[in-house]
Amino acid sequence: MMDDRTDEVQTGTTQIHNILVIGGYGNFGQLICKALAQDANIRLLVGGRDGARATAFAASLGSAQACGISIDAQAPDLAEQLQALHVDTLIQTAGPFQGQNYAVAEACITARCNYIDLADARSFVAGIAALDARARAAGVLVTSGASSVPALTSAIVDHLLPEFSELFEIRHGISAGGHTPGLATMSGVLGYCGKPIQRLENGRWVISYGWQDLHRYPYAAPVGGRWLGSCDVPDLEIFPQRYAGVQSVVFHAGVGNPVSHLATWVLAGVVRMGLLNSLAPLAPIFMSVNRWLEPLSPVVSAVHAELRGLNHDGKPHCKIWQLITFDNHGPHIPCGAAIALARKFADGNMPVKGATPCVGLLTLEEYLGALAHLNLKRVVM
């Protein structure tokens, strides 16, 4: 379906780009909206099923170009609604994406607007390329995984890659601070705890188990040693295809409070033994316990990546890169890609069309530039 609108509306000397954030008053949606509401060339639509909440949050942003709307991302007439609202770019923050279909992305293609989501579900992100031909024909970009994985992690690898003549290993991970995630995020993680995960190690596809493979990782000060376990992320599927010659792609994650992490490890073991089907239904209980533990949990988060291979002299080379996040700013990190991409769209600096996982669309500096207001520290070894 085609419409007769232009991609941008001219107001005075500024071209206005209309951005709709689905789940705009949720955990990640709020952080994205707060950042984009300050941009003069963006008209921000805060969207969600509860129109009153959307309107109240939009009003709190203090921007004349932000408004709240009631919208159901699963509505059969979503494409028509997007056209009527003149949406140029839609940001989908409403997870969990495990088990979701591509109805929202398909509606964006029909409405000829760009689509960005914060998915970290492996099959969902890797499978978005199935929409590539349709997105190219519509002249829009559809990208999935605009989050810590794989958008930030791939940007880190791309940043370090020029130091290597050959890259053999990518071992990376995330340790969250004490902030309790939203229900969708919690459900997504708990859904694969104790379940088998395929990953590439030493040139072979092997099985690990979610939140198992328990070990301590030595982050730079003030983070220190943190417990980590295996996680199922898009990187495990995308990176072996993206980085030629890589023999191992391993990802681990954990939470800063050791009680929370180790309790989850134990319960994941119960799932692995077949005594419990899934931890996902327990997500509300996990959230309540984590909120109770928040005052006892660290306010510092960390991301790390270790790359090993050969340098340009043919000698073994290792590079370790870490991002330390202070003041409970960890939940902002997954939002950096959506903010940076939205600004590139609004500035007319995103020429890429088609459907793709969110890799290669942002440099590391562009990603971190969207988070420049936060208390962050980079450590390179």
CATH number of 317's domain: 3.30.360.10
Handedness of CA 85, 342, 127, 72 (dihedral sign): negative
Is residue 123 very low, low, confident or very high in pLDDT (cuts 50, 70, 90)?
very high
> Are the CB atoms for 304 and 295 separated by under 8 Å?
no
**Are 286 and 319 found together in one domain?**
yes
317 lies in some domain: yes
Percent of the chain with pLDDT over 90: 87
**Are 338 and 314 found together in one domain?**
no
2 lies in some domain: no
What confidence tens digit (pLDDT) does each residue in 321-371 have?
999 999 999 999 999 999 999 999 999 999 999 999 999 999 999 999 999
**Are 301 and 340 found together in one domain?**
no
Please give the mean pLDDT across all residues of the chain.
93
Is residue 97 very low, low, confident or very high in pLDDT (cuts 50, 70, 90)?
confident
**Are 25 and 46 found together in one domain?**
yes
Cα dihedral: 214, 330, 149, 43 (round 10) = 160
What CATH code is carried by the domain that includes residue 347?
Answer: 3.40.50.720
What confidence tens digit (pLDDT) does each residue in 228-263 have?
999 999 999 999 999 999 999 999 999 999 999 999
List phi, psi (to 5°) of 361.
-95, -20
What confidence tens digit (pLDDT) does each residue in 1-45 have?
333 343 444 444 568 999 999 999 999 999 999 999 989 999 999
How far is the C-alpha of 381 from the C-alpha of 367, rounded, in Å? 21
3 lies in some domain: no
Q: Which residue has the tokens 């890797």?
A: 126
Q: Which tokens in the block code for residue 135?
A: 């997105």
> What range defines the domain where residue 185 resides?
149-330
377 lies in some domain: no
Ramachandran area for residue 367 (φ above 0: left; ψ -120 to 50: alpha; else beta)? alpha
1 lies in some domain: no
Q: What pLDDT does residue 185 have? A: 82
> Are the CB atoms for 212 and 177 separated by under 8 Å?
no
Q: What pLDDT does residue 8 have? A: 43
Number of domains composing the chain: 2
**Are 324 and 343 found together in one domain?**
no
The total number of residues written for the chain in this structure: 381
**Are 154 and 246 found together in one domain?**
yes
Q: Is pLDDT above 90 for 69?
A: yes
Cross-sheet strand order for the sheet of 225-230: 215-218, 225-230, 248-255, 166-176, 301-310, 316-325, 376-380
**Are 178 and 322 found together in one domain?**
yes
Q: Which residue has the tokens 């689509």?
A: 115
